[in-house]
Chains A and B, each alone.
Chain A
Amino acid sequence: MADSSAAPQGCSFLINEVGSESIFCPEKFSEEQQMFGASAREFMEREVHPHIEALEHQDFDKMVEILRKSADMGLLMMDVPEQYGGLGVDKTTSMIVTENLSTYAGFSVSFGAHTGIGSQPLLFFGTPEQKEKWLPKLATGELIAAYALTEPGSGSDALAAKTTAVLDDDGEHYILNGSKMWITNAGFADLFTVFCQVDGTKFSAFMVEASREGVSTGAEEKKMGLKGSSTRMLILDDVKVPKDNLLGEVGKGHKIAFNILNIGRFKLGVGVLGGGKRTMKIAVDYAQERKQFGQPIGDFGAIRAKIGEMATQLYALESMCYRVAGYMDQNLDTLDDTADDYVDQMMEAIEEFAVEDSIMKVFGSEVFQMVIDEAVQIHGGYGFSAEYEVERIYRDTRINRIFEGTNEINRMLIPGTILKRTMKGQLNLFELIQKVEAALGEGVAVTPPGQDEGLDFDKFLTEQAKKLTVYVANQAIQKHMADLREQQEILLMMADLMINVYLMDSTVSRTQQVVAIKGESGVDHYKAASRLAVAGAYNKVRTLAEDLLAHLANGDKLTKHLNNLDKLAPRARVDTVTLRREVAQVVVDRGRYPF
């Protein structure tokens, strides 16, 4: 990457020195980006929240009406490039809007299925004629889109789809047969991107209008949550589709499916951030109102600890998300959008951060799960009652760990991709491994710097966590070599090591930016949250590393490894009680997410 304006390579957080770059973060949002966020928030408050009751009772006409209203505001054409009549906003803006639209999952999932997975295959892989035909109508909401990949027999293993497409005798049409499972928006969608096998083995995508003969949908699925969103089976029974409806090339459907999923993942990461912030506010408001033992429960340390933890983890997630948004914009800005291979280059620019996307998806969905779980707990018995919003959010949140690639599949992708890039020489993991081994050879033990005001201590923990992670990864590679791919438990632990390292690196780097932008006054709670998140992640890294080493080695070898572990990552404890209190105090004072 010679271009100085290009972003650092994907995954380089693992090997670059912490704090060596000035990452993008919410403190750098432009006035215009903030206005986009405010408008999205306003839209939700005025047009969506008042109708949640009807939407939860599956009034899908209302949902379609709201989607069309969002078109009037320009929301449906946000990601559509200007040459197709859209706004072509940058990725950061798109993420800010997504975050602010994610305060009611029933809507945000319907919206995302239409604008994201529904419209983007056409947008990125359609011919000019195909785009002309459908895009303008998708941008106004006249047509609603859906994405049909999953089947009853193939979920995570999406490429094993059984739906068939056979060229008709006339040579002009394909005949589609099969059924698609769990299709969001199916109840009212007009246009489906359907994945199927041409000639039995060539995975391909077709644009299929709902109005075609032989297209039907099953009954609404009776779901645990997300009831505002329509989910049905899509049934294709001898559906005759013109050749012109083939999207991209025959046999290249996987390219469409995987690229669209990459985009979906970072949108999910930022969506759960929006949901998490709102949930935290609901919990904090309730904690201030509810009195027990003569005082608001929000004054009890037990409740404060929950509030402090929620805000801290959301701060970390936010730092992780907008860092990637910044990278993507940096790289997309260097591309020539009139070039023939623009779409390929764009997909490459996005694919570059596939690991970070998976991390955001996994970590974000799990943070939101923690936040809503504690929000219900803060509500006590009332949290278990459908009269309170947290009860619905609790049910709605669970799906985030399942769709857009389950968290298991995404976790496995993290070390999988990092190892693949290392083997291809794209990522220089071995240089750091050698450095770590050399330092261990010299036998110098490191000691943490003092836990004073600055970020030195936090940076130290982050650096040592990186070293420990690559040290352990190296042991896993040495022991299992190519067979490592089959060692899922190891891969999952490696993923968690990497997730925690990315969390630490992003959080410290953001806090460094915050201090640079705001100065030293009024940033104490940023520093407190940062230290709390980083120290927590550090201790997880240590434990994970120990567990993993205990599996990889035994006897004297294990003892040697554990000694090395102590040298690389000495025990470091911070006063989490005080830090959490400090963060919680600011949340309670301001009555909301305080960063």
Chain B
Amino acid sequence: MKILTTVKRVTDPDMKVKIKPDGTGIVTDGVEYKMNSFDEYGVEEAIVLKQNHGGEVVVVSVGPSASTKEIRTALAMGADRGILVETDAELDSDAVARVLAEVVKKEQPDIIVMGKQAVDSDRNQAGQMLAAYLGYPQATFAYSLEVADGWATVGREVDGGTSTKRIKLPGIVTADLRLNEPRYASLPGIMKAKRKPLETMTPDDLGVDVTSKVRVIKYEAPEERQAGRIVETVDELIEVLRNEAKAI
């Protein structure tokens, strides 16, 4: 089975993000980057699929040249081969989906496992758009995944509970937090990753124009949350919710 999985280089979510005073973006001085955490679940699942079914795991990233680090991390975890579609452009989800669609057409994987969203922009679109461009079935927010006889059975997290969906492969699965526990790279894994192939191409090579269709007008920090308050009794709580917060 050929499994394609994707990784995005994102700002470290444990770091404080500062917005530039003019609101055109975030301050990148001294910012650290790492693999999008939802992609870690995707890569882990891809490796588990390979362990159970044999085959190959191809890891793809679309982004700046430094994204080789995130690809190498996936290779160190156990993926076999990397592809970087290198661009410094500000990418929207649509551009990413169109680039990935071309990679998929070239690679012809049996299944594509992605993170459900990137923790930097939190858009939650690339997987769905990719499915649309390819005309593939999709199962988003996966917490479980079984593959057999050309079909994937996917347990999904949905509002208010879970649902199970069967999709015919090739198809797209996006990973949620409960899907697995991503491994971290072992030292021998890191050393092996150095020798694994990593191919670099550009959106141009794939015939994709990545000019963004989404225009960012301004970045703003969310309003600071006020400190909470502890009430003494349930009656008081109801009273506050009704008369102060006007929530009930």
Contacts and interface: CB of A to CB of B under 8 A. Distances in A.
Interface of A: 31-32, 34-36, 38-39, 42-43, 46, 72-75, 77-78, 87, 89, 97, 521-522, 586, 589-592, 594
Nearest to A72: B186
B186 A74 contact: yes
Nearest to B27: A589
Contact of B72 (A35, A72, A73, A87): A35
Contacts of B185: 35, 38-39
Contacts of A42: 184
Nearest to A594: B30
Contacts, number: 61
B188 A74 contact: yes
Interface in B150-196: 184-191, 193-194
- Interface magnitude class on chain B: 20 to 34
Contacts of B194: 32
Given A35-B73, A594-B30, A73 B187 contact: yes
A35 B76 contact: yes
A563 B189 CA distance: 62
Interface in B11-63: 15-16, 18, 29-30, 34
B190 A32 contact: yes
Contacts of B68: 31
Contact of B69 (A31, A36, A46, A97): A31
A97 B185 CA distance: 13
Contacts of B193: 32, 35
18 contacts: A31-B68, A32-B190, A32-B193, A32-B194, A35-B73, A35-B190, A38-B184, A38-B185, A39-B76, A39-B187, A46-B184, A73-B186, A77-B187, A78-B187, A97-B187, A589-B16, A589-B18, A592-B15
Contacts of A592: 15
B187 A87 contact: yes
Nearest to B31: A590
A506 B73 CA distance: 32
Contacts of A74: 186-189
Contacts of B186: 39, 72-74
B188 A87 contact: yes
- The CB with the most chain B CB atoms within 10 A, among A89, A591, A592, is that of A592
B198 to A, nearest CB: 11
A391 to B, nearest CB: 24
A97 B190 CA distance: 13
A416 B110 CA distance: 68
Given A31-B72, A89-B191, 9 more contacts: A31-B69, A35-B190, A36-B187, A38-B184, A39-B76, A39-B185, A42-B184, A73-B187, A522-B29
A75 B187 contact: yes
A406 to B, nearest CB: 33
Interface string B85-124: 0000000000000000000000000000000000000000
Contacts of A522: 29-30
A77 B69 CA distance: 24
Given A522-B30, A591-B16, A39 B188 contact: no
Counting from the closest, the 7 A-B pairs by CB-CB distance are A74-B187, A42-B184, A522-B29, A73-B186, A74-B188, A35-B190, A74-B186
Given A35-B69, A589-B18, A590-B16, A89 B30 contact: no
Contacts of B188: 74, 87
A46 B40 CA distance: 15
Nearest to A43: B184
B77 to A, nearest CB: 10
Contacts of B16: 589-591
Nearest to B34: A38
Contacts of A521: 29
Given A589-B16, A590-B15, A594-B30, A39 B184 contact: yes
Nearest to A521: B29
Contacts of A75: 187
Contacts of B15: 590-592
A139 to B, nearest CB: 11
A363 B34 CA distance: 32
B73 A586 contact: no
A35 to B, nearest CB: 5
Contacts of A34: 69
B64 to A, nearest CB: 14
A526 to B, nearest CB: 10
B183 to A, nearest CB: 9
A590 B190 contact: no
A96 to B, nearest CB: 11
A89 B69 contact: no
A36 B190 contact: yes
Nearest to B16: A591
A74 B185 CA distance: 10
Contact of A89 (B18, B73, B184, B187): B187
- The CB with the most chain A CB atoms within 10 A, among B15, B72, B187, is that of B187
Contacts of A38: 34, 73, 184-185
- The CB with the most chain A CB atoms within 10 A, among B68, B73, B185, B190, is that of B190
Interface in B186-230: 186-191, 193-194
A272 to B, nearest CB: 23
B191 A87 contact: yes
Nearest to A93: B187
A490 to B, nearest CB: 44
B49 to A, nearest CB: 22
Nearest to B188: A74
Contacts of B30: 522, 586, 590, 594
Nearest to B18: A589
Nearest to A33: B190
- The CB with the most chain A CB atoms within 10 A, among B15, B29, B185, is that of B29
A225 B125 CA distance: 51
A39 to B, nearest CB: 5
A32 B190 CA distance: 7
Nearest to A41: B184
A38 B186 CA distance: 10
A46 B184 CA distance: 10
A163 to B, nearest CB: 36
Contacts of A43: 184
A319 to B, nearest CB: 17
A22 B7 CA distance: 35
B195 to A, nearest CB: 11
A89 B194 CA distance: 14
A409 to B, nearest CB: 34
A318 B188 CA distance: 26
A46 B181 CA distance: 11
A39 B190 contact: yes
B21 to A, nearest CB: 13
Contacts of B34: 38
A75 B185 CA distance: 11
A586 B15 CA distance: 13
Contacts of B76: 35, 39
Contacts of B190: 32, 35-36, 39
A458 B187 CA distance: 40
A290 to B, nearest CB: 13
Nearest to A288: B16
Nearest to A595: B30
Contacts of B72: 31-32, 35
